[in-house]
């Protein structure tokens, strides 16, 4: 008879690509995970993984069996929720990943409020500019900026028309002047973001007839988006940030938008999860809550963004 725990360890081993990683996640020994998969293989009379000393990958039979195993566990979880009378009420563990700046300065109060509203829920947050792999990392939901080109997961729009905005503090502008053209950026101190060892010193602007790439330079680099924002607030230079990350600073006058007539690069915001069948009550209701917050923020901020000169960063809400 197939054991449910063996199915679960098979699924996590496939996602993480390692018995050791699956064991670490489940607080087991690697040998226990390997034994669980062997039991499952004996029950099915097939080989689910091709093993070597350096790698672990699904066989063709394993690839075909995996979605059925996932569906079984999803059905069992739904039944358990119904038996315990959840009636769609979020419960259990919900793991959410988001970029550092967005997570700390925008999402944190929303997520805390959501958890308070659903006391049976355990919320685990991961705020990092490392892009979480929703298949391999222990993450149920990832909130992501930027275009998505992987059709294997579900991406629901939160702010599909969000754009970047060029910003600097009043103090910096008083000392160094305000750039009047994109060419002027080359003579300014720009605050540079880096990810995976790559420094983003080529800023893109979708001008009519094509995309304009402007090479910028600066002596302050960071792999943390919140650090770049803080440098801008401290008057250290010009930043090219998502409007959502700096909208409170624009509204309060701590930062000013630059070159408002020039359209800036899009940074759409998405709610990402591995598969629609993993839309538990918690995931579904979290999406609805975040979408409502995003809609309220845009409605409240339209006048502020316009008056601060951030016309290029204006976004509008689109139904999912």
**Domains, the chain, with CATH or none:** 4-83 (1.10.10.10), 92-160+268-307 (3.40.190.10), 164-257 (3.40.190.10)
pLDDT of residue 215: 95
**Count of beta carbons in the 10 Å neighbourhood of residue 178:** 14
pLDDT of residue 90: 74
Q: What is the average pLDDT across 85-92?
A: 65
pLDDT of residue 36: 93
The whole-angstrom separation of Cα 11 and Cα 200 is 37
**pLDDT tens digits for range 188-199:** 999 999 887 789
Tallying the residues shown for the chain, one arrives at 320
pLDDT of residue 22: 85
96, two tokens: 């959410």
Residue with tokens 């993450």: 139
The whole-angstrom separation of Cα 112 and Cα 118 is 10
**pLDDT tens digits for range 174-229:** 999 999 999 999 999 999 998 877 899 999 998 877 788 999 999 999 999 999 99
pLDDT of residue 178: 96
pLDDT at 306 over 50: no
Phi then psi dihedrals of residue 37, to 5 deg: -65, -40
pLDDT of residue 136: 64
If one compares 264 and 207, the residue with the highest pLDDT of the two is 264
**pLDDT tens digits for range 26-76:** 888 989 999 999 999 999 999 999 987 778 889 999 988 988 888 887 777
**Count of beta carbons in the 10 Å neighbourhood of residue 315:** 24
Give the SS3 label for residue 99.
Answer: coil
What lies within 8 Å, CB to CB, of 260 at 6+ separation is 309, 310, 311, 312
CA-nearest of 145, 156, 141, 124 to 243 is 145
pLDDT at 101 over 50: yes
**pLDDT tens digits for range 123-168:** 999 898 777 666 666 788 889 887 655 555 678 889 988 899 999 9
pLDDT at 314 over 60: no
CB distance 112 to 235 below 8 Å: no
Query: First-to-last CA distance in the chain?
Result: 43
pLDDT at 313 over 70: no
With a pLDDT cut of 70, the percent of the chain lying above it is 84
pLDDT of residue 318: 39
pLDDT at 266 over 80: yes
Beta strand 212-215 pairing with 239-242: unpaired
């Amino acid at each position: 008879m197939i054991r449910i725990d063996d199915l679960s360890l098979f699924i996590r081993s496939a996602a993480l690509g390692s018995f050791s990683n699956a064991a670490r996640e489940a607080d087991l020994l690697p040998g226990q995970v390997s034994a669980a998969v062997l039991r499952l293989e004996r029950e099915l009379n097939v080989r689910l993984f091709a093993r070597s000393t350096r790698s672990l990958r699904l066989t063709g039979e394993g690839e075909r069996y995996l979605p059925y195993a996932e569906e079984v566990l999803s059905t069992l979880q739904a039944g358990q929720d119904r038996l315990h009378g959840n009636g769609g009420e979020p419960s259990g563990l919900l793991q959410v990943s988001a970029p550092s700046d967005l997570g700390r300065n925008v999402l944190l109060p929303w997520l805390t409020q959501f958890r308070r509203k659903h006391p049976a829920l355990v919320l685990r947050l991961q705020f990092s500019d490392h892009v979480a792999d929703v298949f391999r990392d222990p993450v149920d939901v990832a909130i992501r900026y930027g275009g998505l080109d992987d059709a294997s997961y579900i991406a629901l729009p939160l702010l599909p028309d969000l754009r970047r905005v060029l910003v600097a503090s009043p103090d910096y502008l008083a000392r160094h002047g305000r750039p009047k053209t994109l060419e002027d950026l080359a003579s300014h101190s720009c605050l540079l973001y880096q990810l995976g060892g790559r420094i983003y010193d080529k800023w893109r602007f979708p001008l009519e007839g094509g995309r304009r790439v402007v090479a910028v330079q600066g002596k302050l680099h960071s792999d943390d988006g919140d650090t770049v924002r803080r440098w801008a607030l401290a008057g250290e230079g010009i930043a090219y940030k998502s409007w959502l990350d700096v909208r409170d600073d624009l509204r309060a006058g701590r930062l000013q938008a630059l070159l408002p007539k020039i359209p800036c690069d899009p940074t759409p915001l998405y709610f990402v999860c591995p598969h629609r069948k993993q839309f538990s009550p918690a995931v579904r209701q979290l999406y609805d809550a975040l979408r409502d917050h995003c809609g309220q923020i845009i409605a409240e901020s339209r006048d502020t963004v316009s008056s601060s000169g951030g016309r290029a960063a204006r976004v509008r809400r689109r139904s999912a």
